Chain A
């Protein structure tokens, strides 16, 4: 039974790679290989390169100092954080919110089989993202140290142990989120806030961790001693990576016990959580009857799209996080203005105006993290018939999706752009460019994101997280602006002798606006046809 469900879950997870979501037909082998190669290249290329660089700088010095356990402990913690952050907040949806809950529960399937199959999705997500760190770290270790069977086996076991630990922690996080959802009214906002707190903690850890790693690299022997207290746990974990059988046995035993307890907790809570999701809605007092005001059809569509966005913590976290980060970064720019400008001046003193170009590009890069237009098409799901049967132009439906992304992103980008302009304290032209460029870039990314959302759209998902987080469309949406960003900064770097920063920024704003127009035109023609063919 469990095997059948596991196969079903695997098919759903990898469906997009092997089947065309629109026609349901199997892809050709070449097409599948291309898809996987592009996915791995685009999503994993840069992080893997960063990890390889970090691992290379740590592995040899720590091994020489007899503190290889610390190498595995540090990289393990980074891998764990990444794995848990990415898979943890989707765990609640993955375990509890399947659209096939009723169907599966009505069949003679043990609850543990359903949970096991659901947990597999969480495991794969955790493995994928913790693997971005753990696998390169293991490979670097095997290549750096003299090749021994124990080293290779130890590194392999360490990767697996790490993925299991990420699974346990993700499930725990999913359980906590589900319990919060059961009890609170504004659940999507609360979940988002909790996620942001975790994110903030991650960045604190990251910044402190980088300082720590720098100091280790300079004096590894000082940190190689066997720690006492809580640090001992890390030591065992690191020793497992070194291939120490006793440490492997101990860590594995602890993980199995934790995994067993977690499984029991999920099984015991499953029915309560999925039935409470409906009951709590029903027992609330009816909302006060308010007389409605008439809105225009476009305002109604925009309200619908924004309502969809704010109703889902997953959607807000994965596709709208930049709206929160941009004002924070803007405020930080003003706060640390002197320090930042001094550092930029020292680094790029020979390139007048480059700091303002760099700041404006940074604002654009951050604004580009918002991509709510991309999954908005697939999220229509089974409700697509409503938009299709109403007397609204398909172009208007698409325009409302574009507007939703702009409403969510542009104000934050404008604020951050203004802060960047103040921080850079350039001339009026530079300030204007610094504000205009992010706005035009927002328009460009909104159009491209929506166009990507209409590419091979899969509206037959069973879990909301699939179109929001696991689709190739979203992945491409996150990186689609990279060439333009490279042009913004790299182009000025090359041409700073012949053109001023203000003129350059305005020219790039014009280019972004022109590209936005091109994509908008394409949306209104080809995009409309694609939407109508869904």
Chain B
């Protein structure tokens, strides 16, 4: 679904991502963990075509993000760590905008918006301008917009930040259901307990280099993910 081969990204002299390779197969939830400034967000942004990169190749569903970005973007949805949405739109108008871009039919979008908004307790707020939303409500709206067009790959940067416990629970259920239906999810998080319980695969990045990747069981062995992560940090 998502293949990253030898990705390298520099900001001036600073090497943000260093020869990173990763493969995410359909049906997998892949957690991406690392310390602050490790290169997680840069990798995610490169993967969804928001940021250019210096070397390497990224493909989504077999399409290159460099040469055929539109095909890639049609197959994916992205939620950034700070969901800055169009504040002058109402929640409903924003969702309609996203649905129009992805050519979601009126019937399909109305049904999906009703279902997802109910799930996240956002139904009564959809008619309000986004300017009045709290951070958590914006995050919920971003999640709904990501699921609205049934993407095959969902890329999320710290998706649980700002969500209330109920919404976090719903999101976890939706992530699992999405992958059970053949989709894939690649997300970054600092909450190692969530990653441990939710992910099929885990990738650990440090100073732009992928230092460990594989199935959750293979990576953590008998220890907890937290212990493995701290151990790897200490080694480096």
Contact = CB atoms under 8 A, between A and B. Distances in A.
A297 B80 CA distance: 22
A393 B82 CA distance: 24
- In this complex, the interface size class of chain A, counting residues with CB under 8 Å from chain B, is 35 or more
A175 B224 CA distance: 57
A299 B100 CA distance: 8
Interface string B124-136: 1111110110000
B86 A304 contact: yes
B127 A281 contact: no
Contact of B100 (A295, A381, A385): A295
B124 A294 contact: no
A288 interface: yes
Interface stretch (B17-25, B91-99, B178-186, B194-202): B91-99
Contacts of B97: 300, 303-304
A277 B88 CA distance: 13
A308 B88 contact: yes
B84 A390 contact: no
Contacts of B109: 292, 294
Given A381-B84, A385-B80, A284 B106 contact: no
A296 B104 CA distance: 10
Contact of B101 (A277, A278, A390): A390
A3 interface: no
A498 interface: no
Interface in A63-115: none
A278 B100 contact: no
Contact of B92 (A287, A312, A383): A287
B73 A293 contact: no
B74 interface: yes
Contacts of A385: 50, 78, 80, 84
A291 B99 CA distance: 13
B98 A278 contact: no
B42 to A, nearest CB: 13
B126 A297 contact: no
B84 A383 contact: yes
Nearest to A279: B132
Interface in B159-177: none
A317 to B, nearest CB: 16
A291 B97 CA distance: 14
A393 B70 contact: yes
Given A281-B132, A287-B90, A292-B96, A388 B50 contact: yes
Interface in B111-161: 124-129, 131-132
Contacts of B74: 391
Given A287-B90, A294-B99, A383 B73 contact: no
Contacts of B88: 307-308, 311-312
A286 interface: yes
A271 interface: no
B100 A296 contact: yes
A223 to B, nearest CB: 50
A293 B93 CA distance: 11
B132 A300 contact: no
A533 B50 CA distance: 9
Contacts of A290: 92
A392 interface: yes
Contacts of B93: 307
Contact of A386 (B85, B126, B127): B85
Given A287-B90, A287-B92, A389 B131 contact: no
A294 B82 contact: no
A303 B100 CA distance: 11
B11 to A, nearest CB: 11
A148 interface: no
Interface string B185-197: 0000000000000
A436 B87 CA distance: 38
Nearest to B74: A391
A390 B98 contact: yes
Interface in A369-387: 381-383, 385-386
A372 to B, nearest CB: 14
Contacts of B87: 383
B48 A389 contact: yes
B49 A388 contact: yes
B101 A300 contact: yes
Contacts of A295: 96, 100
A281 B70 contact: no
Contacts of B92: 287, 289-290, 292
Nearest to B146: A389
Contact of A294 (B78, B105, B125, B128): B105
A292 B52 CA distance: 35
B83 to A, nearest CB: 9
A336 interface: no
Given A292-B106, A385-B50, A390 B73 contact: yes
Nearest to B113: A292
Interface of A: 277-278, 281-282, 284, 286-297, 299-301, 303-304, 307-308, 311-312, 381-383, 385-386, 388-393, 532-533
Q: Which 4 A/B pairs are nearest by Cβ-Cβ distance?
A: A287-B127, A281-B132, A311-B88, A300-B100
14 contacts: A278-B131, A278-B132, A281-B132, A286-B127, A292-B106, A292-B110, A296-B100, A297-B103, A307-B93, A311-B88, A385-B84, A386-B86, A388-B49, A389-B73
Given A290-B92, A304-B89, A390-B102, 17 more contacts: A278-B131, A281-B128, A282-B128, A286-B127, A287-B92, A292-B92, A294-B99, A294-B100, A294-B105, A300-B96, A382-B84, A383-B84, A383-B85, A383-B86, A385-B80, A390-B73, A391-B70
